[in-house]
Each structure stands twice: as C-alpha cells, then as structure tokens.
Structure 1
Amino acid sequence: MTAPLPQPLRSDARDNRDRILAVARAVFAAEGLDVPLREIARRAGVGPATLYRRFPTKESLVVAAFAEQMGTCGAIVAEGAADPDPWRGFRTVVERLCDLHVRDRGFTVAFLTAYPGAIDFTATRERALTALGGLARRAREAGALRRDFVLEDLVLVLMAVNGIRAPSEAGAVAAARRFAALAIEGFRASGDVTPLPPAVRLPLIPVR
C-alpha cells in the first residue's frame, strides 16, 4: 500500500498560515523569541487553536518562520566557499551575512539557538559552519586570514551586528556594512598583527 498524499491547504487555511508566519517573523525580529504563541496568534488575528494546529510548538514556528533566511544563509556560505580566491570568498561571506542578520534580528537569535528536534534547520546550520570553517582554513593557508581566527569570532560579529540600532533599515544596513568592513580588517593577516586574547567557546542558546 502507498501512503496517502498530503492534502493541500484550503485557501483560508493557507492565508492563516502565511499571516501567522509574517507576524511571527516581525515579532521575533522586534522582540526576540520569548513572545508567547498566544500573543502571536492575537496579533495575527487567529485563535490559539488555529496557530497550535499548524505550529504545535514554538520550535516549529521559529523554524518555519526563518526557513527562507536559513536557506539564504547556507547559499551565501556555499557561494563564498566556491570562490577560487579564498580571501575574497571569506570577505564576501562576512559582508553578506552581516547584511542578512541586520535586516532580520530575530534570525540571529534563531540561528544561534539549539533546536534538538529541528533536524533540517540544525543540519543546514552545521553544513554552513562546516563550509565556512573550510573556507577560513583555505584563507589562512593562503596567508590572507590571521592564523588565530576561529569560527566563534564570526559569531561574535553576528551578535554585535544584532545590536545595531538605527532610525531606519537603510541606516542599520549601512552601519552593518561599515562594521563588517572593520571586522574584515581585523581578520586580515599582516606582518605585525597583535595576537588575540584566548578564544571563548560560545554554546548555542537552549530553546525554552
């Protein structure tokens, strides 16, 4: 016997789902991931039962809300890793990741949060980090990236970008691009580079 095919959502159910996701992305970006699901349902104009039917846990809602951004993040790293010039690829990744994260603050928290049951989300993040680690290794071997760089340094950059505040999105993006340029200069290898303090391991944020 073959399993029955999943039934497509009715137009009203699809509209509810899209509205819930749009509100969730906006709320998570502005207020973080601690906003209760019932509050998201209220702002989306649906009943709690409707939200829980589509997203029974906050984890499932966060993963669905940021699936597109996670895919974009993975594509950015993959394109940078494919660049035959590893330093140029590394610079491009830092610039584009800062741009992505400052446009959607909630995504930074989601990216750094541990979701044990979200296999696809976790796997995409791990693939991105593995590819980025390989790109950094190539850039170090080429003599372009400082030898004491670790992936946690880029995590620090993304956390800092998440704290940028500006009167408009355009201002925030401009500030993030300047900050990325400053960070890249700090990552660049040079003859008289000052050694960094010891690296600190930054564990993922546990989901609540």
Structure 2
Amino acid sequence: MPTDPIPTPDDADGARPLRADAARNRERIVTAARELYATRGLNVGLNEIAHHAGLGVGTVYRRFPDKRELIEAAIAEPLREMTEVAGQALRAERAWDGLMLLIERGAELLTRNLGLRDAALASDETRRDLDTHLQVFEDIGCALMDRARAEGDLRPGATNGDLGVILWMVTELAAHSVHTHPDAYRRYLRVLTDGLRNAPDRGPLEPELADADYLAIGRHWAAN
C-alpha cells in the first residue's frame, strides 16, 4: 500500500518541499509581515505573522530564524521609497523647496507605515541593521539644511537635529489620530516647518540641543 511521504523539516503543510514552494512560502511571510508591520508596528509577533500568512509558525522560524532579517525584508520597499524621495529633494533647485519635499514626503511615508516609523526611531540592533538606508535620508536632510541656511531661507539657530524632532512629533500625532482624522498631522507639520523659515521678524530660537540630548530623547521616545 502506498504511503504518504514523510514531511521534512522545511515543510509546514506535510507535502515534500520544492524550491518553488519554499520561495512562495517566503514571499507569503514577507507579504504578511509587511502588511502587519505597516498597520501595527514592529512589535507584531511571529505567531501573528504566521497566522496572517496562512502558514505554520515553524515555517516562519525556519525561513527567518532572526526576526531582524524579516523586518529588513518587509520594509525594504518603503525604505527604497524614502531613498528615492531623498534623491528628488536633493535635486531641487532651491534647497528650501527640497527640504520641504523631504519633510512632507518623509512624514507621509512614516505615518503610512508604522513599522517604518518604528525602525526610524529605533535605537537598538534593528536600527543598526537598517542604517545604510536610513542614513541616506538623514544625510541628505542635513545637506539641504546646510544649503538652505547658506541661501538665507533657513531661520537662524535652526539645526539639523530639529528635522528629526519635527518628524517624531508629527508622526506621533499621526499615530494617535489615524482613526479620527488621518491627515491631521499635515496641519501641524505646516505649523512646525513654517517656524523653520527665515523672516525679518523672527526672533532667536532657544539654545540648540546637544547630540547626546537628541540621542537620549530618541531612545526614550522609542521605548515608550
């Protein structure tokens, strides 16, 4: 009498695995993680991702024994979008216009994808794994701030660190208003960015924060 094939360790469904099956399972896992991370952030567990993908949790662990690898695969596309936006901003004729494009589109991407926001605010190994991509965005933001300052469009006293704080503030608002008014953050983004622009009647800003202060604030923000 014929017998069923013995499941191998790579098989979650009982059928003998094929390379094509393994590739499809991996794609299902990444797609499920991408969807859940975008709507709920990076704290989603592998059990929930497995359920969303319609697979056994063992399959998820075998394909992604390190959760950081799954995070990197799941947010690769929004990271690519951030890099593209940064490139467009850098090519703007006037640095101020590029800076506003970077901030507005960056805020849109971060509010649309809570997982991406979590990664950007992270201060642990997750952030270090993704720094190659996120650093491009930050470096271009700093370059645009420097150019806008030299062109006279940036308010005296505004610093590169202010850019990150503005994005933290508006994306935090967006996270709390998503079910009530998803676009509410845009109003306050405008208020905050208007405060960066140079004008004859603008008074001096309060003293800038030290790099260590920004780092400490970011760590506390990410932890809470």
Normalised to the residue count of structure 1, the TM-score between the two structures is 0.81
Q: Which residue of 2 aligns with 1:185?
A: 194
Asked whether 1:202 is paired with 2:215, we answer yes
**Deviation sequence 1:153-205 (CA, Å, 0-9, x none):** 2222222232312337xx52x32333322222011112232333332413565
CA distance, structure 2, for counterparts of residue 117 and residue 43 of structure 1: 22
- Greater gyration radius: 2
SS at match of 1:60: helix
Which residue among 21, 27, 47 is the counterpart of 1:18? 27
Q: Which residue of 2 aligns with 1:167?
A: 179
Distance 1:154 1:35, change over 3 A: same
CA distance, structure 2, for counterparts of residue 47 and residue 20 of structure 1: 10
Kindly indicate whether the alpha-carbon contact (under 8 Å) linking 1:152 and 1:202 is maintained by their aligned counterparts in 2. Answer: no
Q: Which moved more, 1:113-122 or 1:178-187?
A: 113-122
Kindly indicate whether the alpha-carbon contact (under 8 Å) linking 1:55 and 1:61 is maintained by their aligned counterparts in 2. Answer: yes
**Deviation sequence 1:124-155 (CA, Å, 0-9, x none):** 21222112111110001111011322233222
Normalised to the residue count of structure 2, the TM-score between the two structures is 0.76
Kindly indicate whether the alpha-carbon contact (under 8 Å) linking 2:119 and 2:127 is maintained by their aligned counterparts in 1. Answer: no
Asked whether 1:39 is paired with 2:48, we answer yes
Kindly indicate whether the alpha-carbon contact (under 8 Å) linking 2:86 and 2:136 is maintained by their aligned counterparts in 1. Answer: no
Percent identity of equivalent pairs: 32
**Residues matched between the structures, number:** 197
Asked whether 1:124 is paired with 2:136, we answer no
Q: Which residue of 2 aligns with 1:153?
A: 162
Cα RMSD, aligned residues only: 2.7
SS at match of 2:204: coil
Structure 2: runs of 5 or more not aligned: 1-17
CA distance, structure 2, for counterparts of residue 205 and residue 41 of structure 1: 30
Structure 1: runs of 5 or more not aligned: 1-8
Q: Which residue of 2 aligns with 1:6?
A: none
| TM-aligned CA deviation for residue 76 of structure 1 | 0.9
